[in-house]
């Protein structure tokens, strides 16, 4: 006998949650508590020693967050999840659980600007060096690996270039080197792509985007595939007694969820970027409708991309769902349900026209976010990527004429109308 494999829509609604044991509440209760009572001294000792599973303190675990953690882990086909205070915190916790002073990371050069800065500035200051490579040729990752490299890092869909990664090829290169591949799956969501199915070992999300889906809350998620062989000799901190937690050997004690336990009990516990249970509740509300929302984001985005491609005031459109995109084949393989809600285009007239466009939209929102139910527009060169040098902007694929759109769920005719009138104002 084997247990039923449920579909993704069912898992979005049910995974990780049973009706509340004491009240029968069907919705997930918000456990707004900092701490939890112990039954007696021995129970407390067992909890601290991790000999029994239970709640201690909401920096480490919270029953509302736990529903979100199990749900996202289930949706990503992973073994365990961890909720964090932001997407940046998820990325940091994922990597600082693996990397220490003297270790190296190889990352895609096309990352979100904040991710790039975390590695290039903050991690470097901590003695962790990142080599950035063009991810279009997976072999670039192999060429940058040294004996000190302990992880590869890339996005399923790059931000804002909309480049699609050949996840399986990069995963194979990571595994040849005995190191894990960490994937930021924010733009795709597990509804469009499950990187673990293509060889990724760890997945991170900014839950702020499509998972929350309504632009209400900041949060991040980390998922452990449970498949990486941490006892391969490259990760003594997974197999030796933990200096950060009572001498526990995470790999031996927790087996295929040892990594996510180490992320929780060492990295989250000592650095502290926890997610508020109220935000976890809002992300759970978002996940319930993820499949229907993503289907509409996909179809609206494809309509917008085709419309812009034919528009006289538009120089170019980058959307991997377009047949003339250099990433169309990769998108067909890794994103078969659709290429997501986000695209960039070049406005005729360059940087100045870009600024005029942004200032001319009527209901499209000018702000630094993506993945909202509302359509969002931004000019990356002057906002999200402005902290990068001109040279690093070009490496990240940001040009002065580039506008990024996160296509929302409004009436498609209205989205196209607002784009048209703003293009006319900017370029007419």
Residues found near another protein in the complex (CB under 8 A): 1-4, 6, 10-11, 14-16, 18-21, 24, 26, 39, 42-43, 46, 49-55, 61, 63, 65-70, 73-74, 78-83, 241, 246-249, 252-253, 255, 257, 260-261, 264
Q: How far is the CB of 87 from another protein (least distance, A)?
A: 17
Q: For residues 83 and 422, which CB has a smaller minimum distance to another protein in the complex?
A: 83
- Please, are residues 11 and 74 in contact by the beta-carbon 8 Å criterion? yes
- The Cα–Cα gap between 167 and 131 comes to 18
- The Cα–Cα gap between 331 and 329 comes to 5
Q: How far is the CB of 78 from another protein (least distance, A)?
A: 7
Cα 360 to Cα 14, 378, 421, 427, distances in angstroms: 43, 12, 8, 11
- Please, are residues 419 and 384 in contact by the beta-carbon 8 Å criterion? no
- The Cα–Cα gap between 338 and 376 comes to 19
Count CA atoms closer than 13 A to 84's CA, side-chain side: 28
Q: How far is the CB of 284 from another protein (least distance, A)?
A: 13
Q: For residues 244 and 349, which CB has a smaller minimum distance to another protein in the complex?
A: 244
Q: How far is the CB of 10 from another protein (least distance, A)?
A: 7
Q: For residues 262 and 385, which CB has a smaller minimum distance to another protein in the complex?
A: 262
Q: For residues 144 and 248, which CB has a smaller minimum distance to another protein in the complex?
A: 248
376-378 and 402-406 strand pairing: antiparallel
- The Cα–Cα gap between 109 and 338 comes to 24
104-108 and 129-133 strand pairing: parallel
Q: How far is the CB of 188 from another protein (least distance, A)?
A: 20
The β-bridge partners of 205 are 221
Q: For residues 253 and 387, which CB has a smaller minimum distance to another protein in the complex?
A: 253
Q: How far is the CB of 43 from another protein (least distance, A)?
A: 8
Q: For residues 70 and 172, which CB has a smaller minimum distance to another protein in the complex?
A: 70
Identify the three-state secondary structure at position 316: strand
Q: For residues 42 and 329, which CB has a smaller minimum distance to another protein in the complex?
A: 42
Q: How far is the CB of 84 from another protein (least distance, A)?
A: 11
Degrees (nearest 5) of the Cα angle 201, 203, 205?
175
Cα 398 to Cα 17, 307, 384, 389, 394, distances in angstroms: 42, 22, 10, 11, 5
- The Cα–Cα gap between 106 and 150 comes to 8
Q: How far is the CB of 50 from another protein (least distance, A)?
A: 7
Q: For residues 262 and 379, which CB has a smaller minimum distance to another protein in the complex?
A: 262
């Amino acid at each position: 006998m084997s247990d039923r494999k449920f579909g993704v829509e069912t898992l979005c609604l049910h995974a990780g949650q049973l009706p509340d044991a004491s009240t029968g509440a069907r919705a997930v209760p918000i456990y707004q508590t900092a701490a939890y009572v112990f039954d007696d001294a021995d129970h407390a000792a067992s909890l601290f020693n991790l000999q029994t599973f239970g709640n201690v303190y909401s920096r480490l675990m919270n029953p509302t967050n736990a529903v979100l953690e199990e749900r996202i882990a289930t949706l990503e086909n992973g073994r365990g999840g961890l909720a964090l205070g932001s997407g940046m915190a998820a990325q940091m916790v994922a990597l600082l659980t693996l990397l220490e002073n003297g270790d190296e990371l190889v990352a895609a050069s096309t990352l979100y600007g904040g991710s790039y800065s975390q590695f290039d500035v903050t991690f470097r200051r901590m003695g962790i060096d990142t080599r950035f490579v063009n991810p279009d040729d997976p072999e670039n990752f192999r060429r940058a690996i040294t004996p000190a490299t302990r992880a590869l890092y890339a996005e399923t869909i790059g931000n804002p270039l909309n480049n699609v990664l050949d996840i399986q090829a990069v995963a194979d290169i990571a595994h040849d080197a005995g190191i894990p591949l960490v994937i930021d799956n924010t733009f795709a969501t597990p509804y469009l792509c499950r990187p673990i199915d293509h060889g990724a070992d760890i997945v991170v999300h900014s839950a702020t985007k499509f998972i929350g889906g309504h632009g209400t809350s900041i949060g991040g998620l980390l998922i452990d595939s449970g498949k990486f062989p941490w006892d391969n000799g490259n990760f003594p901190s997974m197999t030796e007694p933990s200096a950060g937690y009572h001498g526990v050997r995470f790999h031996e004690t927790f087996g295929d969820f040892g990594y996510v336990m180490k992320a929780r009990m060492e990295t989250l516990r000592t650095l502290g970027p926890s997610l508020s249970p109220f935000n976890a509740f809002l992300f759970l509300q978002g996940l319930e409708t993820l499949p229907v929302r993503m289907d509409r984001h996909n179809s609206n985005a494809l309509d917008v991309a085709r419309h812009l491609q034919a528009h006289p005031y538009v120089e170019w459109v980058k959307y991997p769902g377009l047949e003339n995109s250099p990433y169309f084949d990769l998108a067909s393989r890794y994103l078969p349900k659709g290429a997501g809600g986000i695209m960039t285009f070049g406005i005729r007239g360059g940087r100045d026209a870009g600024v005029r466009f942004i200032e001319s939209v009527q209901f499209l929102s000018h702000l630094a976010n993506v993945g909202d139910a509302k359509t969002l527009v931004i000019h990356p060169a002057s906002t999200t990527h402005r902290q990068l040098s001109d040279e690093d902007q070009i490496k990240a694929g940001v040009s002065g004429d580039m506008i990024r759109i996160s296509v929302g769920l409004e009436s498609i005719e209205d989205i196209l109308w607002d784009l048209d009138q703003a293009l006319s104002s900017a370029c007419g």
